[in-house]
Structure 1
């Protein structure tokens, strides 16, 4: 017997830390305690670790090896650790740590200014951990350790910076407060006391500001005009909400790029305004004042009236002013904008000053405000002292304000999270994408580095991130959380609830991690789904699929039965009702109407893509995890379909060390083609993971025996039973597989999955036919005492069969065994009437489809059909009309 022990001692000392909830990928080479091998109490079966199952020769090993080529060769010409250094680039830049010469960020969404930067590094961690667990190759471990170590250094540098008090800078007189603005700054702003201007019928606000110039080189598109990024940036904003407030902005809009004062009780449409006729200079001190009283508002620039006009509203008309700010505006807005400027000598008066008094302030000789006066001359810190004697002290709100939890780790400032809490939307001036999505990928990568790659520091860093997330979200009410998670894209958080539940399992003395996972409940959708109400039409698919995997993990940790119910019912709303022939889902990135498959092919003409690969990644994960609880064969049926078709098809059949060479979409609109590459994108990240863990679901162990779920050439090291199982097969090119047992064996049931298409399924043990139940779509059971040298031969002859779209029985796809076959052909039209190829196929498929002699290739009615899993860029038709 030659059992796989190549990494047996790697995590021995850490076995007690291995999270029970994480055993879908066991610690690489570790020998976990018996209790850990059982997994959560709700599991009916448990998976094996990636180091316990080795791939044999075949199509999956080929795809895996191409990804390993990328993992080992990425930037290898610059040195073994240059690849991880690229993944650290944005983290180091954010933490103020110099990057090595010649190193650049990964690029695309993860470039130096990308709003999703850092996410790809998390996927890269997972890929390295899985590659190491699968192969034991020290190159992957060295890269992994270097990346984790670098992330730890960045975390420490960020924590040290956060511990410093908010600094002051040289001002117009004494010191000033620097607000770095948006989209490239930290969104510092000042919170003034509520009720500050309540009941006033007159008001004067005066201050010095020095607007900052935006560095074009830091913009995602350096050629763009930076001036419009200042549109709407507020010097101050006092009021109740976005409908009832008064404000001064440094730049009104593109048509009026000048300072503007406005007051309204009816939103933007009801604003009463005065607008200057000249822009403010960048990099120079300018005195601004607004005087409101007697039915007139006057805007002064450097002591001279720049605009004046009738304004009937007064602060008293606004009601209670609970939101009063320097450097930011009211929310909710489409994108919250922050002021980029140094601010000094901010004075509020309870009456209207005369022109001479305003001029005196501009000359530096006037008195301070009688309502409040902020000179920013106090010691550095988050408090801005009121020098008027009224005690109306203000507070600086900033990522670097001395109050941030030291566990924070990201490749951009904490501003992204602050903006989300104020309901900023994706893109625009707010410069926000999906901050908690990025956090999830980093956290998941660190957890993989710990449990799969054996890096002890990774769990410590991951725990810090969990503590930081708790510190941010635990102070927010449920209504705000619900609104955050409902925001399209910006509120996307991936499966961070899954990682937090995993973290709760890994660190069982920290129950707040499970509590933190619940902060991410998408409550309305969660409740509706648990009740069986399908609300998925129009939802962003990959924003929601991983949420339900997270709910399932939370259930495992004791969070409640409803989470499990929601996960199961969500699955049934997607598969088969929104699943295409290759297992993918979505039009572009969006779930569409239940049961509409054929109708979705051209329903959205501006989006020719379907089936985002990330969705298949997450649906496979959800199906697999549901199977662990239910042992329902339908989940493994889906895993086979999606894995043998969309996932295999998602990796190009060509090596690359510059790109993962994977797809974003695997389209189903007739005549489309796949595009490969995707460095820095979400599907590039999940693609790296997909092809370094193909063996994760081949075998599961249960109290009732060994489950063989997938027919894939592989070797199982079943250390619990001191047994090795070698599976030899040419599947999916042939409908047969052989299992060879060596070692101790013993009495247990062998559970063999009978694919739903396998109308014939026979089993021989040591050459003798077994008379067993083998209904399609079930598990056939062989009960015996297994001995060294036993062989099991499975025959499941491949056959042709078609599957009709749910909404049109004439529109079909054809399979040969598990493999979906696609017509090799370009587009022939742009709508259902002309865009589908018509093929004359009778009841006898074997007569209609003629093998070409090339594996899994056929011709029918003059058209060539080939397996979708071929990683080429040829156009194809997955669906056709059967005549």
Structure 2
């Protein structure tokens, strides 16, 4: 839906000019003043300052052969993804400095950039990076020696994704904090990368791009914007992954089963390249992707995916059942895409999604008191989330989490050449110095449905203040200096007030909100209560919150507490017309539902919770509950017997189990992931307390002694049974078991689907 300007008719000058190109305000021009977003910014600032720059720089010094000033961090920063948090940290420092003016942030940023420049100078060819054995790795790529899986490249954990974080961090250090040395390092790194891929054919480059690589195409588009050198724009196009782009150009949905956060940054790059070239169809592709993901693949709070992958649009049962719900990184990047499309297309629908995701996923993904970032947000009833800690947790969602809460001011306001736009109701100020306009927004939204906008002007002047009329708002009222105005506007539009504004003018915006049930996109009977843009949830218990604050284990970002049966969850039973009437207002954004109290999901922490509720007619309740109870009993019994498991072909489960392989590929068939090989694949299973006695391997094809050879800790495995596509092995008494699956005579193995280490 295209943005429509609606006008208030009263004794002031009206302007009917078409909407000019939307522009963002710089973060330096916007300041948060109070409320939950200001609190989240403050908490994030403490987390940022708790991190040690020298420890984050250690991987770069190691690679450059320079003496360390401190030991590198553990967790993902010393197990293959070394250096990626350092790139995110640059971005977080730059944006938080721009948003707050805190001097210590600029001091740290300048120090880190200077150290990276020192590493780059020592390397001597423009390269700087923290990837383990980086020089050896990149030399193989230069020679065209490429063995890529769906995420790894030459048995190295997402190296292009890793270095992309540095590219982005250097860009942000220059763009947001004005560090000119960062631009020099950024350009040098870009030139090195161009030289690296110069010997590769287009097909080889596309093979490299099969692996997760962040928004590497976007960063080269950024280099073009900074330098106007066309070689960077050409490289950006060369680094755009065709296997995703081509179906999007044809508006074909080929997303199911793909690793979600691998795809979203690519699309951000397509959109930026489209803005710099005549490739309007690339922008159309980005719009199609956004529409598909935001409207058919996202849950109520704006997140998407299960176990990091796009699930079928017609079946969300895995999302409901899994303890690995939508990943925060996905929403981080969907907001970046939404912002880019909003500024390009001037469509309010992008803001509706942006606002929903900002309040309900991003704001909820940080602990509001203790700090710490969430990786997975399950929608499974009666489950919970895990929070990171500065000394133990170096996950991808920590990196994006550091950034998430630094830039809340990025789209609260925007402007065209002459006019001001108010997009979100968040207490803040915007100082448009170029025009001599300052606007102060005082609001307690979402707890109070009102916002007051006060104008401070250097001199009286004529311009439009455009106020977003949200899709969810009802009975919008606008008062100017206390006088009510007639509004001829609809939701999902802007109300444009054009007049000669005076210093001290005040605009009051009032509206009503209501609660509605929002069902999952697959049309199933699971629904969430949404009040205005706010998703409601209920705390259900504080029991068995194992690993609530993460340790330093490889899989510390996952919950370890037991799964409670779905049949134990509260359900809405009866006439559908009565579901909403069962909800009783208690206080501001507090509602009772029998013994439950629903409140904004972003307030729910340190507890198990329920966000989604099954809805039943009375006739259907007994039958469906009995069927679900049997299914749940079988699932939970298997989980109770499981000591460790690997979902083959899924990125993070394979990474968490130290995947290695050669001549291997992976895929997604019949709603199941798989991996096969013509050489070998191996995983490490964690045998906690040596409780595992057997290993079960499931495949999508028949397993026989003739088509796969299995080693446990480099010794031939003892087969207990083989039946169709399941083989059971006698386990190993070690605490860590290395399972190696080998092809015979170079022929493809079966498509392995899942490996479980079982107690019985």
Residue 684 of structure 1: CA displacement? 0.2
Deviations along 1:279-329, one digit per CA (max 9) or x if unpaired, are xxxxxxxxxxxxxxxxxxxxxxxxxxxxxxxxxxxxxxxxxxxxxxxxxxx
Structure 1 residues 241-256: aligned runs within 5 Å:
none
Residue 44 of structure 1: CA displacement? 2.0
Q: Which of 486, 505, 508 matches 2:225?
A: 505
The residue that corresponds to 2:445 in the other structure is 731
The residue that corresponds to 1:98 in the other structure is 67
**DSSP 3-state at the match of 1:662:** coil
**DSSP 3-state at the match of 2:468:** strand
Residue 441 of structure 1: CA displacement? 0.5
Alpha carbons of structure 1 residues 56 and 841: separation in structure 2 relative to 1, 3 Å: farther
**DSSP 3-state at the match of 2:415:** strand
Structure 1 residues 51-200: aligned runs within 5 Å:
51-74=28-51, 83-100=52-69, 103-111=70-78, 114-159=79-124
Question: Are the aligned partners of 2:297 and 2:521 in contact in 1 as well (CA < 8 Å)?
Answer: no
Matched, 1:665 2:376: yes
Q: Which of 394, 414, 418 matches 2:135?
A: 414
Question: Are the aligned partners of 1:584 and 1:611 in contact in 2 as well (CA < 8 Å)?
Answer: yes
Deviations along 1:757-801, one digit per CA (max 9) or x if unpaired, are 112211111111121223122222222222111100000123212
Matched, 1:568 2:545: no
Q: Which of 30, 50, 63 matches 2:27?
A: 50
Q: State the alpha-carbon separation in 2 of the partners of residues 426 and 844 from structure 1.
A: 47
Q: Which of 655, 679, 695 matches 2:370?
A: 655
Deviations along 1:99-157, one digit per CA (max 9) or x if unpaired, are 12xx221322112xx22111100110111111211121211111000000000001111
Residue 429 of structure 1: CA displacement? 11
Q: State the alpha-carbon separation in 2 of the partners of residues 118 and 73 from structure 1.
A: 17
**DSSP 3-state at the match of 2:89:** helix
Q: Which of 212, 216, 234 matches 1:496?
A: 216
Q: State the alpha-carbon separation in 1 of the partners of residues 166 and 279 from structure 2.
A: 27
The residue that corresponds to 1:224 in the other structure is none
Alpha carbons of structure 1 residues 44 and 759: separation in structure 2 relative to 1, 3 Å: same
The residue that corresponds to 2:413 in the other structure is 699
Q: State the alpha-carbon separation in 2 of the partners of residues 862 and 610 from structure 1.
A: 26
Deviations along 1:542-582, one digit per CA (max 9) or x if unpaired, are 00001000111111221622221111111111111000000
Matched, 1:462 2:196: no
Q: CA RMSD in A?
A: 2.3
Question: Are the aligned partners of 2:62 and 2:130 in contact in 1 as well (CA < 8 Å)?
Answer: no
Matched, 1:875 2:599: no
Residue 719 of structure 1: CA displacement? 1.4
Alpha carbons of structure 1 residues 43 and 150: separation in structure 2 relative to 1, 3 Å: farther
Question: Are the aligned partners of 1:426 and 1:432 in contact in 2 as well (CA < 8 Å)?
Answer: no
**DSSP 3-state at the match of 2:255:** coil
Alpha carbons of structure 1 residues 445 and 592: separation in structure 2 relative to 1, 3 Å: same
Structure 1 residues 21-60: aligned runs within 5 Å:
44-60=21-37
The residue that corresponds to 2:276 in the other structure is 557
Alpha carbons of structure 1 residues 558 and 58: separation in structure 2 relative to 1, 3 Å: same
Q: State the alpha-carbon separation in 1 of the partners of residues 414 and 153 from structure 2.
A: 50
The residue that corresponds to 1:601 in the other structure is 319
Residue 745 of structure 1: CA displacement? 5.2
Residue 653 of structure 1: CA displacement? 1.9
Residue 871 of structure 1: CA displacement? 5.4
Q: Which of 566, 572, 589 matches 1:838?
A: 572
The structure in which a higher percent of residues are helix is 2
Deviations along 1:376-398, one digit per CA (max 9) or x if unpaired, are xxxxxxxxxxxxxxxxxxxxxxx
**DSSP 3-state at the match of 2:603:** coil
The residue that corresponds to 2:757 in the other structure is none
Matched, 1:792 2:511: no
Q: Which has the larger radius of gyration?
A: 1
Residue 464 of structure 1: CA displacement? 0.8
Q: State the alpha-carbon separation in 1 of the partners of residues 418 and 54 from structure 2.
A: 47
Q: Which of 482, 486, 490 matches 2:206?
A: 482
Residue 681 of structure 1: CA displacement? 1.2
Structure 1 residues 839-854: aligned runs within 5 Å:
843=577, 847-853=581-587
Q: State the alpha-carbon separation in 1 of the partners of residues 328 and 432 from structure 2.
A: 32
Q: State the alpha-carbon separation in 2 of the partners of residues 410 and 461 from structure 1.
A: 15
The residue that corresponds to 1:398 in the other structure is none
Deviations along 1:803-836, one digit per CA (max 9) or x if unpaired, are 1222236321112222100122269987776656
Alpha carbons of structure 1 residues 465 and 781: separation in structure 2 relative to 1, 3 Å: same
Residue 73 of structure 1: CA displacement? 3.6
Q: Which of 434, 445, 470 matches 1:755?
A: 470
Q: State the alpha-carbon separation in 1 of the partners of residues 137 and 592 from structure 2.
A: 54
Q: State the alpha-carbon separation in 2 of the partners of residues 86 and 589 from structure 1.
A: 28
Q: State the alpha-carbon separation in 2 of the partners of residues 128 and 698 from structure 1.
A: 21
**DSSP 3-state at the match of 1:676:** coil
TM-score (norm 2): 0.72
Alpha carbons of structure 1 residues 760 and 429: separation in structure 2 relative to 1, 3 Å: closer
The residue that corresponds to 2:388 in the other structure is 677
Q: State the alpha-carbon separation in 2 of the partners of residues 836 and 520 from structure 1.
A: 49
Residue 699 of structure 1: CA displacement? 0.4
Residue 850 of structure 1: CA displacement? 2.0
Question: Are the aligned partners of 2:153 and 2:208 in contact in 1 as well (CA < 8 Å)?
Answer: no
Q: State the alpha-carbon separation in 1 of the partners of residues 126 and 521 from structure 2.
A: 52
Which structure 1 segments of 5+ residues have no match?
1-41, 75-82, 160-404
Question: Are the aligned partners of 1:671 and 1:828 in contact in 2 as well (CA < 8 Å)?
Answer: no
Q: State the alpha-carbon separation in 2 of the partners of residues 417 and 771 from structure 1.
A: 65
Which structure 2 segments of 5+ residues have no match?
1-18, 542-560, 617-760
More displaced, 754-763 or 687-696?
Answer: 754-763
Question: Are the aligned partners of 1:764 and 1:770 in contact in 2 as well (CA < 8 Å)?
Answer: yes
Question: Are the aligned partners of 1:115 and 1:431 in contact in 2 as well (CA < 8 Å)?
Answer: no
TM-score (norm 1): 0.62
Structure 1 residues 212-227: aligned runs within 5 Å:
none
Q: State the alpha-carbon separation in 2 of the partners of residues 410 and 152 from structure 1.
A: 13
**DSSP 3-state at the match of 2:597:** strand
Alpha carbons of structure 1 residues 845 and 51: separation in structure 2 relative to 1, 3 Å: farther
The residue that corresponds to 1:866 in the other structure is 599
Residue 414 of structure 1: CA displacement? 2.9
Q: State the alpha-carbon separation in 2 of the partners of residues 156 and 565 from structure 1.
A: 42
Q: State the alpha-carbon separation in 2 of the partners of residues 475 and 44 from structure 1.
A: 40
Alpha carbons of structure 1 residues 126 and 871: separation in structure 2 relative to 1, 3 Å: farther
Deviations along 1:732-752, one digit per CA (max 9) or x if unpaired, are 111110100011352222221
Q: State the alpha-carbon separation in 2 of the partners of residues 608 and 138 from structure 1.
A: 40
More displaced, 65-74 or 842-851?
Answer: 842-851
Question: Are the aligned partners of 1:409 and 1:465 in contact in 2 as well (CA < 8 Å)?
Answer: no
**DSSP 3-state at the match of 1:761:** strand
Aligned residues: 571
Q: State the alpha-carbon separation in 1 of the partners of residues 534 and 456 from structure 2.
A: 31
Matched, 1:437 2:161: yes
**DSSP 3-state at the match of 2:497:** strand
Q: State the alpha-carbon separation in 2 of the partners of residues 712 and 60 from structure 1.
A: 8
Q: State the alpha-carbon separation in 1 of the partners of residues 305 and 433 from structure 2.
A: 41
Matched, 1:805 2:516: no
